Amino acid sequence: MSRIGKQPIKIPDKVEVNIDGNNITIKGPKGELKVQIRPEIEASVQDGQISFNIREQGKNASAFWGLTRALVANAVKGVIEGYNKKLEIQGVGYRARVEGDGLILEMGFSHPINLKTPEGIDFAVEKNIIIVSGIDKQLVGETAAKIRRVRPPEPYKGKGIRYVGEVVLRKAGKRAESAKV
């Protein structure tokens, strides 16, 4: 039995929810999101709350129940507040800038890396911090992961792109090894 799936989602004043079969459309001040729900799950709006029930008992129905509730709750929060991820650039000569419809990264390669801005995502660069923001939590996280994948932090000097607050375990170099001999 899912403990997450049982909890109803309170609909804030500025949010409009429309259920059409297996699709839930959520409109708010920041935009509109659509969430497709599994056929095993049934959604209903009552008294300013969205509640979910299991329509067909199955092997994974309880897991889908909680997942569906979490996805819809993320969409409701996204259309009200939005989401953002911050990435930090560390390394001499590594920089980023927003230009036109994309993000340009200079990460020590022979050429700059151009990343196009996906629809619904905004980039901002402040000194060595890249801010990825949008209303879709999954898209924001996926875009931030793509940026990080350009130059992940390396374990010896810690240079590269990392999430703000991420701890990178550092390895000892060859000097520590040769001192033992």
Q: Is 18 helix (H, G, I), strand (E, B) or coil?
A: strand
Strand order in the sheet with 31-36: 16-20, 23-28, 31-36
Domain 83-163, CATH among 3.90.1150.10, 3.90.930.12, 3.40.50.12280, 3.40.50.300:
3.90.930.12
What confidence tens digit (pLDDT) does each residue in 28-53 have? 999 999 999 999 999 999 999 999 99
Q: How far apart are CA 173 and CA 181, in angstroms?
A: 15
Q: Residue 115 corresponds to which tokens in the numbers above?
A: 């990343």
Q: How far apart are CA 133 and CA 117, in angstroms?
A: 11
Host H or E run for residue 144: helix 137-150
Is the pLDDT at 77 greater than 70, yes or no? yes
In the chain, residues under CATH classification 3.90.930.12 are 3-80, 83-163
Nearby residues of 36 by Cβ (< 8 Å), 6 or more positions away = 22, 23, 24
* Second-level CATH architecture of 3-80: Alpha-Beta Complex (3.90)
Note the pLDDT of residue 116: 95
Is the pLDDT at 16 greater than 60, yes or no? yes
Q: How far apart are CA 50 and CA 35, in angstroms?
A: 13
pTM: 0.87
State the pLDDT confidence band at 57, using cuts at 50, 70 and 90.
Answer: confident
